[in-house]
């Protein structure tokens, strides 16, 4: 059994139930709805989609990603199939990668289905599609980061609701860490060095550069490293539980 087999099984399980469809529809309604309402897309003529569209994605993912990933390992532990998985000829890493890619695929499908906004902005003006592509990449990386966090939390808990609450809390803190209004208030109570350290921990600073069309190596390294650490932590926890 390979990662691809696990990936296929998990992806089919998402779409065999209404959960994935509901999450995708909710994401589309909220992301596009916010773009044309609070995002003021038409009024500010945001051709890059930086403020009207992509700005809302981290806020949505901090709820959507935990909803997608909360069952990844919590179900396996609650039903006792985690121990059964240990009898199969498959490494724990293959299972982790397969499950993670399946959850990430659901997020990717939801993100790609927002393509009407690209058609709209190209019809109304002459946008920098390279910057828009960069924004999509940044958006997907944020989703994967929050999924990795949720997978790590899911490995620690048998209860999906507990996993959802803890994951949403952690993801919310990671969004707030780089949000200007939050950091301004934080600066009043702590030193500049502390604020800088907290901001570097959040996703906003790294997402914002990609959202502006800037491909900084340090941002890509931060996302991949953070995701890798979460998956490594998941592997460590599950290996300890299987032994």
Nearest to 152 by CA among 234, 213, 69: 234
Q: Which residue has the higher pLDDT, 205 or 116?
A: 116
For 2-30, the pLDDT digits (tens) are 788 889 988 998 898 888 899 999 999 99
Predicted TM-score of the model (pTM):
0.90
- Asked whether 67 and 17 are in contact (CB, 8 A), the reply is no
For 54-104, the pLDDT digits (tens) are 999 999 999 999 999 888 877 666 666 665 565 565 778 888 999 999 999
For 132-166, the pLDDT digits (tens) are 999 999 999 999 999 999 999 998 888 889 999 99
pLDDT(206) > 70: yes
pLDDT at residue 126, rounded to an integer: 83
Mean pLDDT score across all residues of the chain = 86
DSSP assignment letter at 31: H
**Burial letters 137-168, b for 16+ CB under 10 A, else e:** bbbbbbbbbbbbbbbbbbbbbbebeebbebbb
């Amino acid at each position: 059994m390979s990662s691809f087999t696990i990936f296929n099984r998990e992806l089919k399980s998402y779409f065999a139930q209404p959960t994935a469809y509901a999450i995708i529809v909710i994401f589309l309604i909220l992301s596009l709805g916010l773009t044309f309402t609070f995002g003021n897309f038409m009024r500010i003529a945001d051709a890059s989609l930086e403020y009207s569209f992509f700005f809302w994605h981290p806020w949505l993912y901090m709820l959507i990603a935990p909803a997608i990933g909360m069952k990844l390992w919590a179900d396996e532990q609650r039903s006792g199939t985690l121990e059964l998985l240990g009898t199969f000829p498959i490494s724990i890493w293959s299972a982790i990668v397969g499950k993670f890619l399946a959850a990430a695929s659901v997020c990717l499908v939801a993100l790609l289905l927002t393509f009407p906004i690209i058609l709209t902005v190209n019809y109304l003006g002459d946008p920098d599609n390279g910057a828009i592509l960069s924004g999509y990449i940044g958006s997907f990386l944020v989703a994967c980061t929050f999924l990795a966090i949720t997978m790590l939390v899911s490995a620690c808990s048998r209860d999906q609701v507990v996993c959802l609450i803890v994951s949403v809390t952690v993801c919310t803190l990671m969004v707030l860490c780089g949000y200007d209004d939050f950091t301004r208030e934080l600066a009043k109570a702590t030193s500049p060095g502390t604020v800088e350290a907290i901001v570097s921990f959040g996703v906003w600073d790294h997402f914002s550069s990609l959202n502006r069309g800037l491909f900084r190596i340090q941002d890509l390294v931060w996302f991949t490293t953070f995701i890798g650490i979460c998956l490594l932590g998941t592997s460590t926890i599950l290996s300890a539980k299987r032994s």
